[in-house]
Structure formats: structure tokens, C-alpha cells
Structure 1
Amino acid sequence: MSADDSSATARDSLDGGAATLTTRRLRYLGAALATLVALLHLLDPNHGLLELFALLYANPRVLVFDPRPAAFVVSATALLVGVSLSRNAPNRRPYYVAGIVVALTYVVGYLAWHLTGHGGFLPGREPLLHGVAPVANVVRHLTSDPWAAASMASELGLIATLVALLRRE
């Protein structure tokens, strides 16, 4: 038993197990949110698994101009593997950190993609801001695309939950 485990056990015994129950609920919430985030990215109708297969079949070079399908599938798979591996891990903190990094990457990636005009930072892509300011572009996309809004909300919820778990454990 590590020092972290013994201090958590002592803390749990002092408050009658309420901390254990809360931590367990947070773990379930974190696992559910991580699974939801992964499924939203794997099943994304424009950039998910089916789109990746279609691009790989048609012309894999297209992924240079829009890497999102490959990134969505790889990162979503990593989240699902992380949820599975963390279930019985003696130390879950590395999994929490990895989940935070993946979710933050999604949030920052979404913002970077839309703030720069749909990946205007990539070679060979002209920025497309739809005639509005970059921040208005992000707001327009989040308010007009329920899939993107659900993804962003679940990613932010996952980050908050995993940060809470990191602080508790």
C-alpha cells in the first residue's frame, strides 16, 4: 500500500466512508463521461470511424489536409483502453492525467480548428471563417451543431471530473 493509499484509507475511515462513496461515484461518472466522449468521437458523422474508413479507401493523402478522422479514432480508442485499464489499477492517477490531456486536446483542438478558419494553420488550407470574427465562428459552430456541443460539454465535464478525482486521490 502506497502512502497515498494509506492516507486515503485513513481519511475515509475518519468520515465514515462518505469520501469512499463520493470517490466511487466520481469514478463511475468519469468512466461514463470518458466512454461518452470516446463514442461521440468514434461515431462522429463527419470525422469518425466510418469517415476514416471512407478516406483510407478513397485516398489516404486527404488525411494530410484534414487529420481529424484519424485523430478522433486513435484518441477515442485510447480513452476506451484507458477506462478499461484503470478499472483495476492500483494507482489511477496516471489514467486521470492521461484522460485530462486527451480531453484538453479535444477542447484546444476544436478551438484552434475553428479560430483559425477550419484548420487554416495546416499547409495547403485557406482559412474559412464564414465572414465572421474567429470567436463568432466558434460560437456559431457550437450553437448550430448539436454533436459538437454535446462533445464539448462532455469533454469539459470529463476534465472537471478527472481533476476532482486527482484532488481526492
Structure 2
Amino acid sequence: MMLAAAILAGAGAIVLAVTTAAASQEPVFDKSVLPKLFEEIDRRGTPSYYFQQCPADIWRRASGVDDALFSTAGIDYQGCEKDVLACARRCFDGRRGEACFETARVIQEHSPEDKQWTEEMFAQACATGSIGGCTNRGAGILLGRLGLNKLLAAGSANESCPYRAHSN
């Protein structure tokens, strides 16, 4: 009887250890959704439009009326990573800046070669009210990503995009 109880306890410990180890593993991101995501971003058009402008000029241009009334609860990187298409829909349809920002981060993390899409989504995030989106888009401009030199030099130093974005 004691031997059976010991065997049962040992088997239970093994099942618990295996279950705990499996539960602690992060789900693997499904890269097959990226073409659908890029198609959705392209279809919307606004990220490309905002991408070509200075963050100081687009800040909160596309934010929703309800942005001040509702929190961004439930929008985080892990949630967007699990369902990046749903996150992108929250970005576009709900005009949620943090959903745009986290969508950009998912692209940046899982498809670093697709800098254009990342930068466009940071610009969309900025336009929908994400400070992080404006900061990251401004950094992309300042670092000369994707050759948008027209945003770096717009006449005098205090008229250039990095200066205006930093001073606002």
C-alpha cells in the first residue's frame, strides 16, 4: 500500500513538473500572419502618409474622441504578440495609440528586416496619441532610417523635424 502511494505521488510530481514547464514556455510567434498584417497596413494607407511627416506635425491627428475617456487597459506587447491582427484592428478601427505602438514592436521584434512597416506603424501610433510612437518615429528619422533626409533638413536648425519634435 505504501509502495503504491509512493509511486502515485512520484507520478503526480512528474505530471506537475511537466505541466509547469510547458505552461512557463512562451508561445512561439506565428510569422505566417505577417503578410496579412502588412497587407492590412498597406490597405489602410494612413501609416504610409504619416510616415512621410514629422512626428511634431502628426501628434494626435488621428486620435479618437474617446481616447481621454477610456484607458488603454488590455493593450500590451504580449497580447499583441499573441494576436497581432486583432491588435492592428484596435489600432486602426479603435484609433488606439498603444495598439499601434505594440503592433510596431511586434513587427520590429519578429521581422527586423521590415523596417518600413515598423516605422510606418510607429508613425501611426504617434498620430493616434502614443508618445512612445512619436519618440520611436523621431528616433528613426534622426538615425536616418530609410533615407527620409527631407525630414532632417528643413531650412534652419529650429525648423528641422528633430528640433521641432524635441521641443514640443
TM range (shorter): under 0.3
Q: Which has the higher contact order (CA 8 A, sep 6+)?
A: 1
